[in-house]
Amino acid sequence: SQTIHQWPATLVQPVGSPLSLECTVEGTSNPNLYWYRQAAGRGLQLLFYSVGIGQISSEVPQNLSASRPQDRQFILSSKKLLLSDSGFYLCAWGSGRARGELFFGEGSRLTVL
């Protein structure tokens, strides 16, 4: 069966520090991968998605970047965090098939102080 994991689960970082959140998927090959952010009390905003190694699409201009160095690995990064980067980050994968549901990781809660 397919599983998705992301880490760290919780992160408290000072403004201006770097960020790296990692997500890996097991049990499937060539998944579509996504990074969403959920601000407190709000819905999910799509940040990045990837349909293959090295292929990254950005949905909104921001202080963050994403990379996909391996087929089942997706990384969210920042060189210098802003206060506004605080939130709950969710990684997800999808098969790209007809129904198109996404399956999510456990989430990473980032607090920038």
Partner 1 sequence: AQKITQTQPGMFVQEKEAVTLDCTYDTSDPSYGLFWYKQPSSGEMIFLIYQGSYDQQNATEGRYSLNFQKARKSANLVISASQLGDSAMYFCAMRVDTDKLIFGTGTRLQVFP
Residue ranges in contact with partner 1 by CB under 8 A: 32, 34, 36, 42-44, 46, 49, 88, 90, 92, 94-107, 109
- Contact predicate 95/31, CB 8 Å: yes
Q: Which is nearer to partner 1, 67 or 109 (CB)?
A: 109
Q: Which is nearer to partner 1, 67 or 107 (CB)?
A: 107
- Contact predicate 32/94, CB 8 Å: yes
Q: Which is nearer to partner 1, 7 or 103 (CB)?
A: 103
